[in-house]
Structure 1
Amino acid sequence: MTALWGILIVSFFSFMHFAVSVQKHHRDLYKKMAITNKEFRVLQGVAWVTLLGTLIPAIQHWGVGIGIMTWLLLITVSALVVTALVNFAPESFAKLWRLLGVVRFIAPPAERPQRTK
């Protein structure tokens, strides 16, 4: 059971980094017009390494066949939750990013997004 939660949390963290590497979401969080190449590469690198790193415990815990299928299910759930947060609750996403974002050495923690009326 802890393997499920661990994979789910780490893959959520990965998809947060994928989301911030998108130009529009990065601009929403940091109020900058463009994401730099360095920021993009680091965000994508962290996301891919942590996401693929969750495959190993899934295979060790459930075996190859069930492990890969469970991993795919869990990363799909994580992606859906991150997508919902980014689109429907950007303030909550910004708060989580400030708490969990590893890339603080590249850019400051995200500002609270301003609501447009």
Structure 2
Amino acid sequence: MRYFKTIVLALLFVISLLFFVQNSGSLSTNLQLEFNLVTLHLISIPLPLYLFVLVAFLLGVVFTLGFLLVERIRLGLELKALRRQHASLEDEALALRTLPLNQPENKPQTGN
């Protein structure tokens, strides 16, 4: 599985590299962002398009890693609680297994 992940990541890297190389002309065109509010008008400096693509990709990576980190912590806490519950239930089953069979707690109730 580790080799499969490595191959997929290398393939993704090569595909993204090909994308940037083959589209270098159109990706290097400059964009200027404008923000118009009623009283506020902001204009950014001209930035190349590939910078926006790269920033969007990196933001996606950061948000995905954050989500996966939170999910891993949540699952780790859930696993810890379930292991604790499992140990408690094993102790209870062991305690019930060692009780003698002639005690009144273990005899089935008959309807009189």
Give the TM-score taking structure 1 as reference length.
0.30
Q: Which has the higher strand share?
A: 2
Q: Which has the higher helix share?
A: 1
Which structure's CA Rg is the greater one?
Answer: 2
Query: Larger relative CO (CA 8 A, sep 6+): 1 or 2?
Result: 1
